[in-house]
Structure 1
Amino acid sequence: MPTTERVRRSLLLASFTLLLVVGLTLPHAAAPDLGARGWAPGTLLPVTLSPALVTATLWTAYTLGAAALVLAVTGHGVRGRGLPRLVVGGLAVVAALTTPFGSGDHVSYAAYGRILALGDNPWLRSPNTWRGGTDPVVSRVEAPWTEEPSVYGPFASIVHALTSLGGGDNLRQTVWLWQLVVIAAWLTVRWCLRRMLPGHEGRVDVVWTANPLVFSVGVLGAHVDLLATALVVLAIWAAHRWAGLRGAALAGTFAALALSSKFTYAVVLLALLLAFRQRWFARAGVLLGSALVVGGALHVWAGPHVYDQIGRSSRAVALASPWRLLLEATGGGPTVRWVISVLAAVAAIGFALCLVRLVRPHRETTVAARALAWVVVLTGAYALAAPYSLPWYDVIVWAGLPAVSVATAAVVHLVLLARLWVMTMAYTPGRVLGMTPAVEDVTMTVRTNVAPVLLLAVWVWVLRSGVRAGSRPRPAGRPRGS
């Protein structure tokens, strides 16, 4: 085994070990206390990590994981048949024994699911007002979300309600059932990718399965974005598995479920439209028709207030975003926020054009490979440009990256890795509670001062790389897009 590969595996082992330690210990600054375990798994490591220690542990794990990915990308270490099933199964089992960390979102999922399961409207009722704020599950929602109704779509809310029915009055039980859904989504993505990209199983496991950053923010963080990502990949798999109208109908159904989890995941429809070649009009019509029927039915059932929160938060600017520099330099205000939204839309188009030049989705490849490449272009551009973006928004980008050849587009992997690494570092430990003043000062400095500058440098890197890729002459006789 080459020395570089041994080093890469050692880095991965260390990174995964540190992440799992954080998930297996008692509640701390990165993981809220979920109360009595009930019949769900309890804490396996009866130790408590201080806010400083948990922050340092996560920063170290993310940096080691990013270094391992750099070695894989620069050394093209993405070949082979991939991880043994025993290793993947072991990761899934250990993940199911952890407590989610990195945010308190999973507590919000449980709360909104319980409100829906008990017959009320989570898109209208905020956790702190529901039943007087005394419910054993809903009352555990953490700041700053206690006064906010649900922002999640009807399908995700149905899944949350089902986990609430199973978990009952016990928050830990409810969250654990949700963790099983997330782990199943992670495994589903791997299963689909390996079938859509035969011969590239090693690439799938390097970029997706054994990616410590994706595993942490997606699986160990138990975010709904992983469920939506699995539905996107299932939509592409359906179009790949059945090339005719049947596949288009099933793809539209999965796409509707994805956009009914989080609306931004409607991007899969555009990716598939760009990927279709044969019988384009018929397949496009069936795809959009089935998505409209299924998605429309879900939204009619949920009522007109499903996406009220999106409207209210459309002008939000994240603390780690480069747009925050402009917001604070101008003093903020509604007009500035509107201008930032417009500029972000223009930037997203520019980033997409650069990523197209770097990725160059092949016309001659399968519909799955083309669609996944377009997912990388579209969601990568959105993640880079969006004024409000968080680390787990990148999960879908990495689900598409196995379709992009490292040999021809290494810079895409490195750019997106830089973006994800900066975001994971910026949003550690991730909660607004449980930190000492000293740790809060350090982490907020990274989030508000360091991260925006580093992400601005990533923007420059993307733009320069895209311009250079567009100016390079193609080899003689090589058709455009090949």
Structure 2
Amino acid sequence: MQQGTRRHRLLVGLSVALILVVALSGPNAAKPDLRSGWPLDGLLPFTLSSALVTGLLWVAYAVAAVAMALALWRPVPALGRRTPWVLGGLGLLAVLAAPIGSADHVNYAAYGRILWLGGDPWTASPADFAGGSDPITSAVEEPWRTEPSVYGPLASLIQAGAAAIGGTHLRLVVLAWQVVVVAAWLLVRWCLRRLVDEENAGRVDVLWTLNPLVFAVGVLGAHVDVLAIALVLTACVGVGRSAGPAWSLVAGGLVAAATSVKFTYAVALLALLLAGRGVRRALWLLAGWGAVLVVLHLWTGGHVYDQVGRSRRAVSLATPWRLLLEWSRTSSVEVSTMRSIITVAAGVAMIGLAVLIWRATRPLGGREPSERQGSLGLARRAAWITLVLTAAYGLLAPYTLPWYDLVAWGLLPLVVPSVLDGILLARLTLIAAAYVPGRVIGMTPGVEALTLGLRREVTPWLQLGLWVVAVTLLLHTTHRRGRISDDDGPDGWGHPPAPRRRAR
């Protein structure tokens, strides 16, 4: 093993170990009490203070960023024969550890419980259900106690299945959901290995499997986004098998399933349509997508997205857009007007950034599917377009949280190494650190002031700086691409391209 690879994996191991100390200890500021009294609430026989939890996670994320930076600059081989042991060990630990980084998994349990008992999670809030006395829904924490579900029909069905398994035992409900998330995490890796060649297999393990930030935020966080990205990539695998009607129909249905987990993943349908290969294929994709959505919404009704519509103008604390919103509170501009301005400005900026990312990156095998690549090239192109759109959204969205970046990291291994790798690494590190420890309760006043100060006063400016750096790097790369043939090789980090030869 090369020295760089050894250092990378030692740092990955250190980062994951620090994160697991938080995840396997007792209930703390990063993980709510799941009310079971089981050993599964904390396999390590101690409870960490909110200050220690915060410090450990900040150090773990910093170490992870260094480890990832080393791997981005030097190619790292795939896991090889160690794969079953690594995947099995990490997956088992992820299930045994109570989720960290937020209390969203308790929300999932509550919405599933409401649906399982015959309620409507899209209109009934956890605080209102069963008079507030239900053993599962009463565990939901602020600020989500009075909020109905924002998740789609399929996510809610799976959450209801977890509720059926766990019954009145919150830890069991969460455990059943964790199994789904870990299975989805493994499915993402399986899909990626179907879509990349052996030469680039190492990127799958560096960017997804052994990425401590993805593991902490997505898998240990037990977020629904891991399931959605697994469905999107499964759709890409289907397209990669054949561009014929049957697989196009299946791919459309799988994207509909992802949309029915979280509405924003409908962007994958647009990517599949833009990837090419004719009108008939597009019609089959739309037929598969529409059929699944019609079936699900005949059952649930169209009101499942009402909550998404109500929250469309929200602005989270750690984004640069928040600076504008706070400024409007002390100016003559109405806050509601500023929210509208931010929504429009963000949309326009996303389009511009997506164009820059599109011009500065390319999928494995080239921008256009060749005859030799066949359907595989089509699948890679669809994944690339999805990455372009979701990366621009993640970087510039007014309301954004760490797990919103997971879709980009799930697709990044299918793209040639470029400056986008480093941009997304900086973005995920900043946003993950900003939301440590991850809950709004369970902290001492000093820790709350420190972490909230980082989130509100520091991170927006750091992200603003990242925007400037990102645009500069993407413009520079785009300028170089104008002088370099697309067939000369990667034009970002890794292997530099050869200069184009002049005709004599």
TM-score bracket relative to the smaller structure: over 0.9
Specify the alignment match of 2:228 in structure 1: 228
Specify the alignment match of 1:355 in structure 2: 357
1:72–1:78 Cα contact (<8 Å) kept: no
> CA shift at 1:177, angstroms?
0.2
Distance 1:477 1:67, change over 3 A: closer
Partners in 1 of 2:144 and 2:52 — Cα distance? 26
Per mean C-alpha deviation after superposition, the further-off stretch among 265-274 and 48-57 is: 265-274
User: In percent, how many aligned pairs have the same letter?
Assistant: 50
Question: Does the alignment pair 1:150 with 2:149?
Answer: yes
Distance 1:30 1:42, change over 3 A: closer
> CA shift at 1:77, angstroms?
2.8
Letter in 1 for 2:428: L
Specify the alignment match of 1:305 in structure 2: 303
Letter in 1 for 2:144: W
Specify the alignment match of 1:459 in structure 2: 467
2:453 to 445, 459, 465: 445
CA offset digits 1:180-210 (Å, max 9, x no partner) = 0000000000011101113122111111000
Distance 1:253 1:424, change over 3 A: same
2:26–2:41 Cα contact (<8 Å) kept: no
Specify the alignment match of 2:385 in structure 1: 374
> CA shift at 1:274, angstroms?
2.1
Partners in 2 of 1:477 and 1:121 — Cα distance? 55
Partners in 2 of 1:319 and 1:454 — Cα distance? 13
2:344 to 342, 345, 348: 342
Partners in 1 of 2:77 and 2:276 — Cα distance? 27
1:109–1:160 Cα contact (<8 Å) kept: yes
1:418 to 410, 420, 426: 426
> CA shift at 1:78, angstroms?
5.2
2:155–2:260 Cα contact (<8 Å) kept: yes
Partners in 2 of 1:141 and 1:18 — Cα distance? 27
2:34–2:41 Cα contact (<8 Å) kept: no
Specify the alignment match of 2:67 in structure 1: 68
Partners in 2 of 1:437 and 1:217 — Cα distance? 25
Specify the alignment match of 2:172 in structure 1: 173
Distance 1:82 1:395, change over 3 A: farther
Letter in 1 for 2:4: T
Partners in 1 of 2:64 and 2:186 — Cα distance? 20
Letter in 2 for 1:339: I
Distance 1:78 1:349, change over 3 A: farther
2:78–2:205 Cα contact (<8 Å) kept: no
1:37–1:173 Cα contact (<8 Å) kept: no
Specify the alignment match of 2:416 in structure 1: 405
2:33–2:41 Cα contact (<8 Å) kept: no
> CA shift at 1:242, angstroms?
2.6
Partners in 2 of 1:476 and 1:170 — Cα distance? 60
> CA shift at 1:245, angstroms?
1.0
> CA shift at 1:79, angstroms?
5.8
Describe how 1:230-379 pairs up with structure 2 within 5 A: 230-277=230-277, 280-331=278-329, 333-361=335-363, 362-364=367-369, 366-379=377-390
> CA shift at 1:296, angstroms?
2.1
Partners in 2 of 1:446 and 1:87 — Cα distance? 34
Specify the alignment match of 2:102 in structure 1: 103
Deviation beyond 6 Å, 4+ runs, structure 1:
479-482
SS in structure 2 at match of 1:84: helix
2:78–2:204 Cα contact (<8 Å) kept: no
2:354–2:388 Cα contact (<8 Å) kept: yes
Partners in 2 of 1:76 and 1:273 — Cα distance? 33
> CA shift at 1:464, angstroms?
1.2
Specify the alignment match of 2:493 in structure 1: none
SS in structure 2 at match of 1:398: helix
Letter in 1 for 2:399: Y
Specify the alignment match of 1:384 in structure 2: 395
> CA shift at 1:96, angstroms?
1.0
2:193–2:204 Cα contact (<8 Å) kept: yes
Distance 1:435 1:476, change over 3 A: closer
Distance 1:82 1:254, change over 3 A: farther
Letter in 1 for 2:340: W
> CA shift at 1:475, angstroms?
4.9
Specify the alignment match of 2:17 in structure 1: 17
Partners in 2 of 1:140 and 1:126 — Cα distance? 12
1:358–1:465 Cα contact (<8 Å) kept: no
SS in structure 2 at match of 1:46: coil
- Structure 1 unmatched runs, 5+: none
Partners in 2 of 1:454 and 1:479 — Cα distance? 36
Letter in 2 for 1:443: T
The count of aligned residue pairs is 476
> CA shift at 1:4, angstroms?
2.3
Letter in 1 for 2:319: S
SS in structure 1 at match of 2:36: coil
Question: Does the alignment pair 1:116 with 2:121?
Answer: no
> CA shift at 1:8, angstroms?
1.2
CA offset digits 1:311-361 (Å, max 9, x no partner) = 111110000011001111122611110010000001110110111111134
Specify the alignment match of 2:44 in structure 1: 45
1:271–1:374 Cα contact (<8 Å) kept: yes
Letter in 1 for 2:358: V
Partners in 2 of 1:86 and 1:80 — Cα distance? 10
> CA shift at 1:258, angstroms?
0.3
Per mean C-alpha deviation after superposition, the further-off stretch among 22-31 and 238-247 is: 238-247
Letter in 2 for 1:377: V
Per mean C-alpha deviation after superposition, the further-off stretch among 456-465 and 207-216 is: 456-465
CA offset digits 1:437-469 (Å, max 9, x no partner) = 000011011101111111111111221122222
CA offset digits 1:252-308 (Å, max 9, x no partner) = 11100100111000111111122233xx21111000111011112212211232011
Specify the alignment match of 2:500 in structure 1: none
Alignment RMSD: 1.8
Per mean C-alpha deviation after superposition, the further-off stretch among 360-369 and 446-455 is: 360-369
> CA shift at 1:3, angstroms?
2.8
CA offset digits 1:407-457 (Å, max 9, x no partner) = xx1x11000010000000000001001000000011011101111111111
Distance 1:281 1:333, change over 3 A: same
Per mean C-alpha deviation after superposition, the further-off stretch among 352-361 and 18-27 is: 352-361
Partners in 1 of 2:6 and 2:239 — Cα distance? 38
CA offset digits 1:340-397 (Å, max 9, x no partner) = 0000001110110111111134213512221221121110000011100000001110
Letter in 2 for 1:236: C
1:82–1:205 Cα contact (<8 Å) kept: no
Per mean C-alpha deviation after superposition, the further-off stretch among 80-89 and 178-187 is: 80-89
